[in-house]
């Protein structure tokens, strides 16, 4: 016997090894009891409701053997009837051949009087008069109680629904933040990679939450808030949860849009309730994701300065100003649109620290790959350094999605482990989209092949361009083919010469079409769009034209 398997079997049943129920088992039993109670109540009311119909059906079936009163008296007189059961006005005749027939009499006269009127001696037939007083009483009581019970149940549910609705109305102003209790947050700094500088900034927050007296002793003012800037998928939410897990404190998480409702004043009320709950659970962390939903600069809306969003923002500012040194509450916010935030939100004393999270470099991508590879079966030929080179520009979320797609791709092919080709296919899928088995004519395939070859040849001939990694005429996304040129290294700056070579490589496909077919196709539309966007950015944003740094707009403007 395997004791571990036995314990697992007991746990599935909600029992401890000794046989006593666990907390989950008790909840399961209570849930089953509630379900069984409802089943019993529903069955009871169904029986009460359908009982009259069942009785009517039975009565109808029995009236099929109904006999005329005159014929019944004649059969009694002729001695064909063995006994008679009298139930009020109903007469149930049992014949000597065990047949049963039913007839009726007038309710005002007794069965003996009926026999005497028909010149039949009452002693010539055996009959029994049933006492129907109890049955009548029960029927009358049920006839009165059944409608009352049904009405009581109906009004009970109506009142309950109204009470719940009233509670929902009064709960509009309550915070809807998700609470991760102390010790329940299993994410720590060991689960976060690629943002080492941000982790160092937040380690002091963790130390403050664990040892606040150390900072107050030397007169240091502990930070009230930290705001995380960065593009989507770089790990802002994960890092905030890691701070709570590392510090071992309660974690209140809420999105900025969850503060807003149609009712005026609800957002401000939810802010007050959230901060009050956090102070009660101190030391604690409040995390507001996508704070730009409520923290945008005031005075830019069409409604003016008194709309619901601005009231909610004002309440956040008031609550953060109201923190005392002993509150031990830290507010962490995240956004990918820091340029939209109100300056009052970012001043010292509110969000004291601003932490920028950027796309991970090669070392960070290797660390992220190893974290997300936990729990997955990879072959021995996996080269994480090569995968990191292949995923330049990928965020942490992109890398996690890529490894998950690789696992799905391997499982779809009934493989026992994930190999390098699965990871390559997954990386291409994440970057360019899934492959489409789109039917193309031979002529279209030929045009696509020469077009992509033109990109590859021009790229290879340009000295500043990165090496070509892959050429394909398999349709992905909106394109019929692709030439994959991943960056050979992480770059912070781009030179004017390299940008011009990028534009040249983008137009290599169109050049190949003109050389080979002496014709132009619509396949270069996306290349022309990207080249135009880059050229406009060089002139408008970077001031790289012959006119110098004079510009009058942004790259997104025509």
Helix%, strand%, coil% for the chain, nearest 5:
55, 15, 35
Q: Which residues, 6+ apart, have CB-to-CB distance to 65 below 8 Å?
A: 100, 101, 102
Nearest-angstrom CA–CA distance, 248 and 293? 29
Ranges of beta strands (E only) in 141-256 are: 178-180, 225-229, 251-255
- d(CA 360, CA 393) in angstroms, rounded, equals 8
Three-state SS at 501: helix
Helical residues (DSSP H) of 83-132, grouped into ranges: 111-117
Query: What CA–CA distance (Å, rounded) separates 83 from 78?
Result: 13
Alpha helices by DSSP H, 283-419: 308-321, 343-346, 362-372, 384-390, 396-412
Q: Which of 258, 290, 308, 452 is catalytic?
A: 452
Tell me if residue 452 is catalytic: yes
Q: In DSSP terms, which residues pair with 475 in a beta bridge? A: 436
Burial of 343 (0-12, 13-18, 19+ CB in 10 A): exposed
> What is the distance between the alpha carbons of residues 350 and 346, in angstroms, rounded to a whole number?
7
Displacement of CA 83 from its chain's centroid (Å): 73
Long-range (24+ apart) CB contacts under 8 A made by 316-324 are 316/271, 316/345, 317/344, 317/345, 317/350, 319/271, 319/272, 319/275, 320/224, 320/225, 320/349, 320/350, 320/351, 321/349, 321/350, 322/275, 323/224
CA gap 236, 242 in Å, rounded? 10
Q: Which two tokens stand for residue 16?
A: 């401890």
Cβ atoms of 198 and 355 within 8 Å: the answer is yes
Distance (Å, whole) CA 360 – CA 371: 14
Using CA atoms, how far apart are residues 390 and 484, in angstroms rounded to an integer?
10
- Residues annotated as catalytic (active site), given as ranges: 452
């Amino acid at each position: 016997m395997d004791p571990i398997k036995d314990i697992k079997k007991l746990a599935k049943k909600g029992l401890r090894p000794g046989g006593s129920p666990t907390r989950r088992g008790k909840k399961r039993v209570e849930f089953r009891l509630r379900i069984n109670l409802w089943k019993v109540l529903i069955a009871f009311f169904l029986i009460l409701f359908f009982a009259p119909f069942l009785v009517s059906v039975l009565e109808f079936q029995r009236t099929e053997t109904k006999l005329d009163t005159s014929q019944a008296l004649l059969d009694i007189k002729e001695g064909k009837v063995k006994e008679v059961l009298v139930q009020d006005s109903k007469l149930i005749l049992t014949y000597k051949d065990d047949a049963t027939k039913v007839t009726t009499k007038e309710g005002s006269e007794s069965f003996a009087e009926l026999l005497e009127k028909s010149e039949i001696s009452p002693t010539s037939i055996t009959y029994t008069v049933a006492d129907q007083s109890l049955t009548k009483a029960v029927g009358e009581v049920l006839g009165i109680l059944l409608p009352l019970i049904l009405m009581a149940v109906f009004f009970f549910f109506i009142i309950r629904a109204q009470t719940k609705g009233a509670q929902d109305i009064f709960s509009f102003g309550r915070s809807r933040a998700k609470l991760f209790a102390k010790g329940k947050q299993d994410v720590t700094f060991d689960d976060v990679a690629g943002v080492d500088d941000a982790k160092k900034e937040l380690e002091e927050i963790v130390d403050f939450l664990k040892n606040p007296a150390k900072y107050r002793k030397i007169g240091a003012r502990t930070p009230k808030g930290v705001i995380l800037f960065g593009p989507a998928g770089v790990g802002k939410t994960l890092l905030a949860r890691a701070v709570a897990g590392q510090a071992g404190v309660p974690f209140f998480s809420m999105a900025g849009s969850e503060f807003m409702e149609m009712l005026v004043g609800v957002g401000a009320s939810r802010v007050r309730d959230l901060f009050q709950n956090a102070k009660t659970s101190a030391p604690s962390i409040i995390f507001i994701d996508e704070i730009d939903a409520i923290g945008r600069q005031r005075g830019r809306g069409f409604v003016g300065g008194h709309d619901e969003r601005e009231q909610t923002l004002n309440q956040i500012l008031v609550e953060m100003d109201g923190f005392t040194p002993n509150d031990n509450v830290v507010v962490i916010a995240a956004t990918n649109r820091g340029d939209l935030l109100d300056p009052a939100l970012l001043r010292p004393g509110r969000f004291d620290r601003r932490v920028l999270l950027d796309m991970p470099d090669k070392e960070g991508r290797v660390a992220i790959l190893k974290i997300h590879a936990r729990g997955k079966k990879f072959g021995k030929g996996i080269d994480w350094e090569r995968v990191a080179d292949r995923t330049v520009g990928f965020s942490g979320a992109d890398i996690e999605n890529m490894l998950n797609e690789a696992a799905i791709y391997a499982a779809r092919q009934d493989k026992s482990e994930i190999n390098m080709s699965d990871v390559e296919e997954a990386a291409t899928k994440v970057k360019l989209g899934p492959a489409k088995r789109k039917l193309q004519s031979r002529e279209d395939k030929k045009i696509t092949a020469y077009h992509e070859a033109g990109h590859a040849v021009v790229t290879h001939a340009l000295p500043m361009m990165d090496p070509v990694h892959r050429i394909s005429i398999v349709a992905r996304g909106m394109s019929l083919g692709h030439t994959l040129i991943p960056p050979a290294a992480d770059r912070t700056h781009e030179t004017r010469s390299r940008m011009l070579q990028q534009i040249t490589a983008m137009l290599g496909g169109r050049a190949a079409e003109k050389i080979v077919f002496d014709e132009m196709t619509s396949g270069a539309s996306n290349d022309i769009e990207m080249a135009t966007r880059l050229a406009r950015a060089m002139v408008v944003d970077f001031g790289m034209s012959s006119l110098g740094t004079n510009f009058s707009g942004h790259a997104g403007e025509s």
